Structure 1
Amino acid sequence: MSEPPSPAEVVADREPDEPPVAAEEVRSVQRIRKRAGFGHMIGVWVGRQMLRLPWLTRFSLTRKRQRPRLQNDGASYGRTLAADGVPIGYCYLPPAAGVPRRAGVVHFHGWMETKETHADVARTLAGLGHPVLLVDLRHHGDSGGPFVTFGVKERHDVDVLIDLAVERGWFDPPVVTVGFSTGAVTVLAHLAEDRKRAEPRVAGCLALAPMISLRRGVRWFRGMAAPRIAERWLMLGVMEAVRRAGLSFDETELRDVVRDEERPILFAAGEKGDRYTLGDQVEELHRLKTRGWTSLHTVPGVTHFAVGTAAFPAILPLWEALLAVVRQRCDEPACADDPSAIEPGAEVEGVRADLHPIADRHPDYQPDRRPAGDETAASVGDER
């Protein structure tokens, strides 16, 4: 039987904006741990599988089926080394011939997927003129590593892949990063790293159904797949497994990253309130981004797992709006050659591509992020 959790462990289990931990709560959690016994061991086992299970994706049927098709489309496969020596698998798909060239795209898939899962998305973007670099997360597909780190280490791999693309002459910065679920956590976390550079290389980001943090992600997954498992038992077990892997929940927290970001971010998710989607968490991230352009596209009637694949065609009009903002922000050749028909301020299927910074908006800007008295913004609601 494991030792009861310390007060520090109980504090670590809470959200950043929750009230302080009371002594009675610490005693309550300690009693739960003492009673859990074998249940706590199961929680630790679940946490370990969450980190290590993705190695099974190397046997994915989708991976085997899509790989030759992508190669027939002109894709090239390879592996490069991350900064810590972990091999990272990638697939480069060149832009379609005969269409004007657009900005390069670096794409990361979700947990228990591979880069080939999003082959159709890559083909769509390549058909629009984007050179696309599909990447396997650590411990997935062609990539190595002892376990997946949910963006903690993967965020640094983004720079390695951009360096590779520049070295091979596939595309030059500025680039647009795209990620689904854990991949979305990776590309959002990388924005904070990219801001530290003298010249940031990411011009915009498409975040498909990201979780706010690993802590919130585990709680969502439990509520969706195993609501009868006691949350406190599961969370304590997963926390211990994560700690044994040298990670912490706090390292996966995205709220401050999004709050401080000025570059355009397009969010997409399933409907809010549906336990099979991350709509509630994505909406929270969207509302936290009050600096610069952002948009939230809700895809009705789909589960979380379809947002990055089957639902992508519904997101394309807003992708064009994101590109319009990217073109507005940068003068690099990769952006200047982008012939997107969407102009700043245009209507894109009822969504206004407003490029003005928050300081230039209506003086009666409200806490719900909508300018008072602006009927266009009020009717759109999710576009800023």
Structure 2
Amino acid sequence: MNPPPTPAEIAAEREPDEPPVDAEEVSRLQRIRRRAGVGHWLGVWVGRQMLRLPWLTRFSLTRKRQRPQLQNDGATYGTTLAADGVPIGYCYVPPAAGAPRRPGVVHLHGWMETKETHAETARTLSGLGHPVLMGDLRHHGDSGGPFVTFGVKERHDVDTLIDLATERGWFEPPVITVGFSTGAVAVLAHLAVDRARSSSDGPGPRVAGCAALAPMISLRRGVRWFRGMAAPQIAERWLMLGVTEAIRRAGLSFDETELRDVVKAEDRPILFAAGERGDRFTLGDQVEELHRLKTRGWTALHTVPGVTHFAVGVEAFPAILPKWEALLAVVRELCDEPACADDGSAVEAGAEVEGVRTDLHPTAERHADHQPDRRPAGDQTAAAVGDQR
């Protein structure tokens, strides 16, 4: 017999803006669990698979095909140890020869992917002059760990990768972090870790900007989206009860994956991207909500029409590049870094250099009037500035 849920367990399933749990709610959900039977254990099984299934990615055909190609291009492969001793697989892609040097990039992939899934993205960024360090999420590809934690522990692995890049001399902070889906959750959550570290240790933050491609707001919301997209025949209450139990057995909590407060508190530039809002095959609604919550500092939302969630981080990345350039311009300004000519020499902002955009606020992204925190003046609408704030 499955034990009935406690008020604390029920409260863990609720959204922050939902009313508190009362006695009637507890009684109703206890009746649901008693009737659920197989439905509840199906939910537990689904939750366990979410955490443990990614070990299959070590047999990925994309991984086997792209790895030798990346190595032929000069990429460096290896593993490094996270703070808790878990091995983290990585691939370092150096900047293209002759390209102007740009900030280093730390990249994390999505659930049931590997770093090689985003090989073309790494090549694109390398061609622009970025040294790129791609990491495998826990329990994916070359990384160890008993299960993926959906950002709870992976947020700290971002620091491990930055440390590695610095020790090897590949690049130094400040860096730009990029993530897709679960990887986007990890790099966004890492912003709070980085902010806390910089305030306690003294040195400034090691991340200058972030590109979050199709992140979910929280694991709770992610599970509900996945059910609506792939398994609408499973009753949501049973699925959520089961997945909650599986998450708890793994020593995790849904609350640890919540991103709303992280985004609200962040003033560093964040570029969001997702498929179209209202499409059940995208996380557009959740990404737009996170974008709205980012009220401090620069932010932009790029909507990619006609693609599913799973295409945003790979096939759709070329369409995101114009917004990437806008993010890079703000990062350079915040870091007091001048623009560079093709030979790597510095040029003054506003100077005319063929093929180099030295204006820190490109025409296509310019606001007619800027507030001190780079948000547009009150008479500008989101549409007028391409949904960029």
Which category describes the TM-score, using the shorter chain as reference length? over 0.9
Structure 2: distance between partners of 1:356 and 1:140: 43
Distance 1:354-1:53 versus aligned 2 partners, 3 A rule:
farther
Unmatched 5+ stretches in structure 2: 348-355
CA contact under 8 A between 2:326 and 2:361: conserved in structure 1? no
For the 8 Å contact 2:4–2:30, the answer to whether it is kept is yes
The Cα shift of 1:381 comes to: 5.2
Structure 2 counterpart of 1:104: 104
**1:20 Cα deviation from its structure 2 partner:** 1.8
Instruction: Give the secondary-structure state (helix, strand or coil) at the position aligned to 1:17.
Output: coil
Counterpart CA distance in 2 for 1:244 and 1:347 is 52
**C-alpha distance 34-354 of structure 1, shift in aligned 2 (>3 A):** farther
Secondary structure (helix, strand or coil) at the match of 1:15 reads coil
Q: Is the 8 A contact 1:326 1:335 kept in 2?
A: no
Match for residue 170 of structure 1? 170
What is the CA–CA distance in structure 2 between the aligned matches of 1:353 and 1:66, rounded to whole Å? Answer: 45
- Tell me which residue corresponds to 2:61: 61
Structure 2 residue aligned with 1:88: 88
Matching residue of 1:255: 260
**1:362-373 mapped onto 2 (5 Å cutoff):** 362=377, 371=378, 373=379
Note the alpha carbon deviations across 1:213-248, whole angstroms, 9 max, x for none: 000000000000001100000001000000000000
Identity %, equivalent residues:
79
Give the TM-score normalised by the residue count of structure 2: 0.92
8 Å Cα contact 2:87/2:143 also seen in 1: yes
Name the CA distance, whole Å, in 2 between partners of 1:309 and 1:238.
29
Residue aligning to 1:271 = 276
Aligned length: 373
Partner of 2:239: 234
Matches within 5 A, 1:300-339: 300-331=305-336
Residue 299 of structure 1 corresponds to which residue in structure 2?
304
User: For residues 258 and 163 of structure 1, what CA distance do their matches in structure 2 show?
Assistant: 24
> Normalised by the size of structure 1, how large is the TM-score?
0.93
- Counterpart CA distance in 2 for 1:181 and 1:381 is 23
Distance in 1 of aligned mates of 2:97 and 2:367 = 31
DSSP-derived class of the 2:77 partner: strand
Tell me which amino acid in the other structure corresponds to 2:380: D
Displacement of 1:333 after TM fit?
8.4
CA distance in 1 between counterparts of 2:170 and 2:239 reads 44
C-alpha spacing 1:31/1:55, structure 2 compared with 1 (3 Å)? same
* Residue 207 (structure 1) aligned with residue 212 (structure 2): yes
Q: Structure 1, residues 125-159: CA drift from partner, whole Å, max 9, x if none?
A: 00000000010000000000000000000000111
Residue in structure 2 matched with residue 345 of structure 1 by the alignment: 361
Matches of 1:315 and 1:242, distance apart in 2: 34
Kept in 1: contact 2:267–2:296 (CA 8 A): yes
Contact residue 92 and residue 132 of structure 2 kept, 8 A: yes
Instruction: Work out the CA distance in 1 between the residues paired with 2:369 and 2:91.
Output: 34
Secondary structure at 2:300 match in 1:
strand
- Residue equivalent to 1:194: 194
Cα deviation digits, residues 271-322 of structure 1 (max 9, x gap): 0000000000000000000000000000000000000000000000000000
> Which runs of no fewer than 5 residues in structure 1 stay unpaired?
363-370
Assess if the C-alpha contact under 8 Å between 2:339 and 2:358 holds in 1: no
Check 1:273–1:92 CA distance in 2 against 1; reply closer, same or farther (3 A cut).
Answer: same
Change (3 A) 1:355 1:307: farther
CA contact (8 A) 1:269 1:277 kept: yes
In the alignment, the residues of structure 2 paired with residue 353 and residue 317 of structure 1 have an alpha-carbon distance, to the nearest angstrom, of 19
- Cα distance 1:114–1:64, how it changes in 2: closer, same or farther (>3 A)? same
RMSD: 2.0
Give the letter aligned to residue 84 of structure 1.
D
Q: Shift of residue 347 of structure 1?
A: 3.0
